[in-house]
Structure 1
Amino acid sequence: MQEGNRRMLIQKKYIILPYNNRMTLKHLEFYDGGDLIFDFRIKLDFFTCECLAYINVEPYIGRDISIRFFASEENIIPIDTQEADAVPFALQQTDEIPKCSNMDNRYRPYIHFTTPYGWLNDPNGLVYADGVYHMFYQHNPAGTERENMHWGHAVSSDLFHWEHLGNALCPDNKGTVFSGSAIADRKNLLCLRKKETPLLLFYTAAGGTSRLSEGEPFSICLAYSTDGGRTFERYAGNPLLPNIVKNNRDPKVVWCPPLESYVMALYLEKSQYCLLSSENLLDWRVFQSFTLPGDSECPDIYPLCLNHDPQQTYWVFSGASDHYYVGKFTDGQFVSTQPVKRLHYGTCSYAAQTFSGAPDGRCIRFSWQRIEFLSAPFNGQLSIPGELQLCEIENEIYLCLWPVRELENISGNMQVYRKIVLPGGAGKPFICSVPRGALDIFIQAEYQPDCVLRINVFGAEVVCDMTRNQLHCADSVSPITIKQKQLRLRMILDKNSIELFADQGEFYISSRITCDYHLNWLQLQSDTQAAIQTLRIYKLQLEGI
């Protein structure tokens, strides 16, 4: 069978590739004068295309490249030949990515962050610099499945309105670009400062995950920007950190005053992590290794004041599934002061990361919500931004998560109800109409150990089972409260998701639901008489959505 080769003069910023998620995954390779310059996997489909992928080829404008695609080495696909079964290989080019149509956007959430096109998972490199929040994230521009990892990039001044800047990092000969972190080099340690604060991206080069990087190990690399994040260059001395073990990955870099150095948290394998230190951000040494039971991947490490007391500073170390240690740095080591605890209950929220350099000492985070949109040209969303605090409850320290105060800027149409009495049993439930869209709902009630309270909004049910101190939503279960004196619950609902923040935020649930906007009411019902002290409902709205 003839090889599937085709020459193409790159004249515009993007090439457009048709794909269909029902088709076989195919390999595309791009050559310049016989040298492989980049490659990726895509479910290419010229016959029954469902979506279009926009692949950035700007670095190759003006070059005549050769394109080869195949399902396997034994199955080279003939293109533009005289054979009757040849594939019509007609690629278009464009300088602009069009906006999604209303039909394509029908599943896009109202307030949660999504990528315009393609696949999204872990938030990466969250950093605040020069008045701007920078969000990087795992991105596949060539489909809506997890392949071809790039770092997408968006910026915001308020954590909700985001400007998409395209991909900041693309795969190279060291691998596709897995997760990592970012800092602003305010001390100018790398002597890169021009007008704006240099941004440093510490990322995983996932060697062996592409044809171009065959034979390369996983390593930790550095890229930087001197123009406010508009462009990035890779550090000439990469990798910063050669392979330690197998697929070690996900570096998180922070300044650590107790050690008077920078600290990198790194995932190794299974439930094992290590900590490294550096004074210059380039030379790193391992100084500690430990396990985080019940967790793996995507470490985060950051300081927090207990009960807002600056004299009581602790450090939190967490993994991708939100198990966490609370501890201190003592004699050059991170020492946990209590057993592992858990913040998130369920399987929807993953790989949370906090912002480096957030203003006013705030600790703000996003996580990836494992929610798929099967009939859309985009896939995956991030949680709403939340703020973390440490609270002492019943003589133990808990990590607490609550929606950021900036949510108030997109809130409107407030409804407030007080002193609602539910008769219980077969008695009449409380029902009120609610606006269609994303909602922020807060409920405060007496904690009654013999009561089961059911909350139904847009057809989605949340159960507060006070007989067992359990909060149920979809397939997730968490405790309701530690003190069991009062029920406090905040709920953020969007088209395809619900986020629950219980008590002071020490218990968090994120679940996939489907809001049925025909059922635009909220219903409260209990099996015994119950007293609801406060019910507040806000509609959440971003302009143009």
Structure 2
Amino acid sequence: MTAATATTAETFRPALHYAARNTWLNDPNGLIFHDGVYHLYYQNNPLDNVWGNMSWGHATSTDLLTWTEHPVAIACNEFEDIFSGSIVYDRENTSGFGTGAAAPLVAVYTSAYKTASAHHGIQAQSLAFSLDGGHTWTKYTGNPVLNRESAEFRDPKVFRYDGDAGSYWVMVAVEAKDFEVVLYKSLDLKDWELLSTFGPANATGGVWECPDLFPLPVDGDPENLKWVLTVNLNPGGPNGGSAGQYFVGDFDGTTFTSATTVTDGPQDPDRLGEYQWLDWGRDYYAAVSFSDVPDDRRLMIAWMNNWEYANEIPTSPWRSPMSLVREVSLKSVDGSWRLVQQAAGERAPHAVQTPSFSLAAIELSDGRHVLDGAAGSVQRIELTVTPGTAEECGLIVRGGEAEGTRIGLRPTEGRIVVDRRESGQTDFHGSFASIDTAPIRTTDGSYEITVYVDRCSVEVFAQEGQVTLTELIFPAATSTEVSLYATGGTATIDSLSVTQYA
């Protein structure tokens, strides 16, 4: 690769998000905090920058801000691809993989068996273990440990359940094409017993993948716990392509019962907007949470891409970043519950930065208003908006000649929009140039929005994280302008601050 080609290739490499050095990645896997280190494993093609040769890549961080890439952790071979899964710390050595000196980390992953295997065409669950803190792994000789003779049984998320029903491991996996979550229990991670199933429910416009199940206190009250079941699906998202949905309810150690199901069975296309989405943008998929995070914090991360165009985004030699790590909580809203998401404390750059640009209240009228001194390609922008007579008002980031990503509010429609039709390179796939929207309500008559801008993405957190939209963008390196705009009337920007990171 020439110097000029390398420079072009790195134009979109993110500063705030993890991306592999020169290979493909997709679903996050095996997320765990262990011995002071966050481990991010992920679906990885170690030989190319498109999907294939599925193995587990590996990166670590102590602050969720800077990541160190390591060699492939669990590699595919002639018998199996290593599909998605999770890792648990087997403190009591229930699996027997540990030694007197070390309890094991145990990876539970999907074996996607190839032609050379006796299980050809089957997806089943297998184990690998590590005795050195997650850097080297040994596959269990008794694999697979759970085989339903299914071609679409995958993505096990395993956690330790301790409750009225007892103490044991619980696996949450999917029968992808049946839109069904299956729950199993085990005492030793090797022998599994079916507990129950959930689904189909709500969004079923594409296969179900990468489930997760975890408890959260409502409004921070530890005496009021609800369980959250997340399920990703592809396609079928609220703005097209890949997305993730969630349900809130109860888990008694055997059965998850949803209190937020809108439709049982096949989805009702007219009610898609009523379902609870992890993110309304086009590029937030396969979201799962970290295990064993201190203080019972629930941290999640997702693959920042969409299967409609994933293999074609212009980021060679690497392809696909991860989202920001988010801390999620559960809030009671209008008699129900809503997942609230914020950039995680260690991950949020504003924790150690001060704004480099700010302005007091101004009234916007029709047109675009460039903010001198606010330009940047890696930044955090916070603004509060009080709607007036404008049909739409908001923010344009990564602006330049004939370029810009518009983040707008449409008060009469009760919608927030991200318009990336002029976000730079958009012609690599017919579905990329899009206007994506989400429902939003004012709080005390105003809107509060935080936008993380990076070299190839925007992540929008609105109304303190009750609504999020995540979008890839591919603007020219010189497109760094920040503007405010209003159309069809006026609006008031109550406050705005910009923090630069690179």
TM-score by length of 1: 0.76
Q: Note the aligned Cα RMSD (angstroms).
A: 2.4
Q: Show CA shifts across 1:135-178 (max 9, x none).
A: 10000011111111000011110112111111111113541001
User: Following the alignment from structure 1 to structure 2, what is the Cα–Cα distance between the partners of residues 194 and 111?
Assistant: 40
Change over 3 Å in CA distance of 1:336–1:482 after alignment to 2? farther
Letter in 1 for 2:495: T
Specify the alignment match of 2:455 in structure 1. 495
1:175–1:213 contact (8 Å) kept in structure 2 = no
User: Following the alignment from structure 2 to structure 1, what is the Cα–Cα distance between the partners of residues 102 and 437?
Assistant: 46
Instruction: Please list, as runs of the form range in 1=range in 2, the aligned pairs for 1:74-223 lying within 5 A after superposition.
Output: 102=7, 104-172=9-77, 174-191=79-96, 192-193=98-99, 195-208=101-114, 215=120, 217-223=122-128
The answer to whether residue 295 in structure 2 is matched with residue 360 in structure 1 is yes
Identify which range, 327-336 or 314-323, moves more after superposition.
327-336
Specify the alignment match of 2:483 in structure 1. 523
For residue 310 of structure 1, give the secondary structure of its aligned residue in structure 2.
Answer: strand
User: Following the alignment from structure 1 to structure 2, what is the Cα–Cα distance between the partners of residues 365 and 309?
Assistant: 21
Specify the alignment match of 1:341 in structure 2. 276
Letter in 1 for 2:249: G
Deviation for aligned residue 1:272: 1.4
User: Following the alignment from structure 2 to structure 1, what is the Cα–Cα distance between the partners of residues 492 and 247?
Assistant: 37
Letter in 2 for 1:513: I
1:130–1:196 contact (8 Å) kept in structure 2 = no
Q: Where in structure 1 are there 5+ consecutive unaligned residues?
A: 1-49, 52-99
Instruction: Please list, as runs of the form range in 1=range in 2, the aligned pairs for 1:321-340 lying within 5 A after superposition.
Output: 321-330=243-252, 332-339=254-261, 340=275
Change over 3 Å in CA distance of 1:216–1:513 after alignment to 2? closer
1:343–1:400 contact (8 Å) kept in structure 2 = no
Q: Show CA shifts across 1:310-342 (max 9, x none).
A: 001111101122211101124832111222522
Identify which range, 166-175 or 210-219, moves more after superposition.
210-219
1:343–1:506 contact (8 Å) kept in structure 2 = no
TM-score by length of 2: 0.82
2:443–2:463 contact (8 Å) kept in structure 1 = no
Specify the alignment match of 1:536 in structure 2. 497
Deviation for aligned residue 1:350: 0.5
For residue 343 of structure 1, give the secondary structure of its aligned residue in structure 2.
Answer: coil
Specify the alignment match of 1:299 in structure 2. 211
Deviation for aligned residue 1:346: 3.2
Greater radius of gyration (CA):
1
2:121–2:151 contact (8 Å) kept in structure 1 = no
Specify the alignment match of 1:261 in structure 2. 168
For residue 381 of structure 1, give the secondary structure of its aligned residue in structure 2.
Answer: coil
Letter in 2 for 1:537: V
Deviation for aligned residue 1:489: 0.9
Q: RCO (CA 8 Å, sep 6+): is it higher in 1 or 2?
A: 2
Specify the alignment match of 1:59 in structure 2. none
Letter in 1 for 2:255: Q
Specify the alignment match of 1:509 in structure 2. 469
Specify the alignment match of 1:309 in structure 2. 221
Deviation for aligned residue 1:230: 2.0
1:422–1:526 contact (8 Å) kept in structure 2 = no
User: Following the alignment from structure 1 to structure 2, what is the Cα–Cα distance between the partners of residues 520 and 374?
Assistant: 19
1:222–1:240 contact (8 Å) kept in structure 2 = yes
User: Following the alignment from structure 1 to structure 2, what is the Cα–Cα distance between the partners of residues 131 and 147?
Assistant: 32
Change over 3 Å in CA distance of 1:195–1:440 after alignment to 2? farther
Deviation for aligned residue 1:302: 1.1
User: Following the alignment from structure 2 to structure 1, what is the Cα–Cα distance between the partners of residues 191 and 34?
Assistant: 24
Same amino acid, percent of matched pairs:
27
